Amino acid sequence: MATTNMFTGTTRKVTAHLTQNEDLSFEKSSPGKKGYKLAPLDVPDVDAAALLEDAMREDAPTLPELSEIEIIRHFTRLSTWNYAIDLGMYPLGSCTMKYNPRVNEFVSRLEGIAEAHPYQPESLSQGALEIVKLLQDCLIEITGMDAITLQPAAGAHGEFTGILLARNYHESKGNPRKIVIIPDSAHGTNPATAASCGYQIVNLKSNAQGGVDVAALAQIVNEDTAAMMLTNPSTIGVFENEIHKIADVLHDKGALLYMDGANMNALVGKTRPGDFGVDVMHLNLHKTFSTPHGGGGPGSGPVACKRILEPFLPSPILAKGSDGLLHWNYDRPQSVGRVRMLYGNFGMFVRALAYILANGPDGLRQTTEDAVLNANYIRKKLEDVYELPYTTSSMHEVVFSDKRQTKNGIKTGDIAKRLIDYGFHPYTTSFPLIVPGALMIEPTESESREELDLFIDAMRQIAREVDENPEIVTSAPHSTRISRLDETTAARKPVLRWKAPAANDSVEIDTAAKEW
């Protein structure tokens, strides 16, 4: 720990506070405690062993036995150990950590919506189908495409679907082609997806501005190219202003332009991918359209496409029948097939639609403008202390590098950990790969000027600490329940589940743990 007369910065945003400790539910369990009561049977009881015979479960699985209050305290205490959007800003790049409106949660839990069985008669599901239709129509308008599927469960799943559409399209023309071109700045899901569709990947090195080198692209695109996967704005937050040339180069050789829609928060209401040459793209409802991140999902990854790809969309598609009702149409001979059972993450459709209705066209545009304003504000206020690897203008996110700090031996990961002590979640470190030591910051439109100023102040203080008190940065965070974790041992000797201590084991007090 640092000596007290070194600079530590002022943290106006947070104060240390007690949080409750909580063991694993298994460790608090004791036989006979109950948290449930089932209604009594109104039908004859059964002798399970007689009914199931060899299929009978001999042992009851080891699950915790706790009362209701213990369960409430257990999970409530756990929740207090998490940072969340509801607490403060997440500057994570390309994650679009915006406000998750509560009315979304309310409407998704309405009885007719939450309890709708996916196989109930269509005549009794018109409400659900109308929600699907309206969301589809809105997303088609927003993206400037012609058709859409809401089936994919998340962005990566959407990418898989999109590339599958491309592949089936090429196959219908007699040649599936072999290659997908991916910029070296791309998110890891892009190459993983292309490989899973049977394509080889050709990496395209970004140009000096961190964008697509159109001349280099023109050299490698040929009749073997199925598609290019592009994120726009790029992962360094810059709009590809030669996008029409990129689209032309690809289309000239019959290849398709796939857009990763992760960064749509910079485009909604200002421009449309369908207008600037994109053939197929996915959206992340859990990014741009406010559905909650929930600790890592669920998400939803709709895929929108141009007319030429419409016949290949996953089956079923929504259609209006001659009876005036909405129906699922399964008669789709050219469909790529299903990418999942049923219709998609319907609960997320409800939330995304509620978000669109709450905004309207003016709200959506204003949202995008505020997102870009906020990112540029941060850029302006930090560009004198952190290195900007590219001078091209940023849209909704800004990427710095740790170049000025590494001469003191401090890396982006250290700065990120120290940011925690200032009451913020870290920004995205070490991505995109084309920027060594990256600090990728996306504030979103949900941050007030006050929160932005607190963030800027924190980042400036940390830059000062790097010079005057580097030790406090490299050993951060100092204020959390636990300090940095031993990830090496976690990977070398993985322990992925709790195990009951053997009957004769005595409980060992962990003397290595610090008492307080």
Q: How far is the CB of 450 from other proteins (least distance, A)?
A: 8
Give the single-character DSSP code of 248: H
Report the residue number, 221 or 336, with the smaller CB distance to other proteins: 336
Q: How far from 374 is each of 189, 272, 290, 442, 444, CA to CA, in Å?
A: 27, 21, 17, 8, 7
Report the residue number, 347 or 467, with the smaller CB distance to other proteins: 347
Report the residue number, 453 or 468, with the smaller CB distance to other proteins: 453
Report the residue number, 345 or 468, with the smaller CB distance to other proteins: 345
Report the residue number, 5 or 59, with the smaller CB distance to other proteins: 59
Q: How far is the CB of 294 from other proteins (least distance, A)?
A: 3
Q: How far is the CB of 516 from other proteins (least distance, A)?
A: 10
- State the Rg of the chain over Cα: 26
CA angle 426, 265, 390 (to 5 degrees): 65
Task: Show Cβ contacts of residue 136 under 8 Å, excluding neighbours closer than 6 positions.
Answer: 148, 150, 318
Structure tokens, 113: 């919506």
Q: How far from 51 is each of 45, 47, 48, 166, CA to CA, in Å?
A: 11, 6, 5, 51
Report the residue number, 5 or 362, with the smaller CB distance to other proteins: 362
Q: How far is the CB of 223 from other proteins (least distance, A)?
A: 19
Can you give 296-313 as a three-state secondary structure string? CCCCCCCEEECHHHHHHC
Q: How far from 397 is each of 84, 94, 197, CA to CA, in Å?
A: 20, 7, 30
Q: How far from 292 is each of 101, 138, 155, 300, 345, CA to CA, in Å?
A: 9, 20, 14, 11, 13
Q: Of 19, 143, 122, whose CA–CA distance to 73 is shortest?
A: 19
Report the residue number, 217 or 229, with the smaller CB distance to other proteins: 229
Q: How far is the CB of 405 from other proteins (least distance, A)?
A: 19
Consecutive H or E run containing 378: helix 346-382
DSSP 154-179: SHHHHHHHHHHHHHHHHHHTT---SE
Report the residue number, 115 or 468, with the smaller CB distance to other proteins: 115
Q: How far is the CB of 336 from other proteins (least distance, A)?
A: 6
Q: How far is the CB of 479 from other proteins (least distance, A)?
A: 9
Q: Of 430, 417, 396, whose CA–CA distance to 466 is shortest?
A: 417
Q: How far is the CB of 232 from other proteins (least distance, A)?
A: 10
Report the residue number, 5 or 38, with the smaller CB distance to other proteins: 38
Q: How far is the CB of 489 from other proteins (least distance, A)?
A: 6
Classify 400 as helix, strand or coil: strand
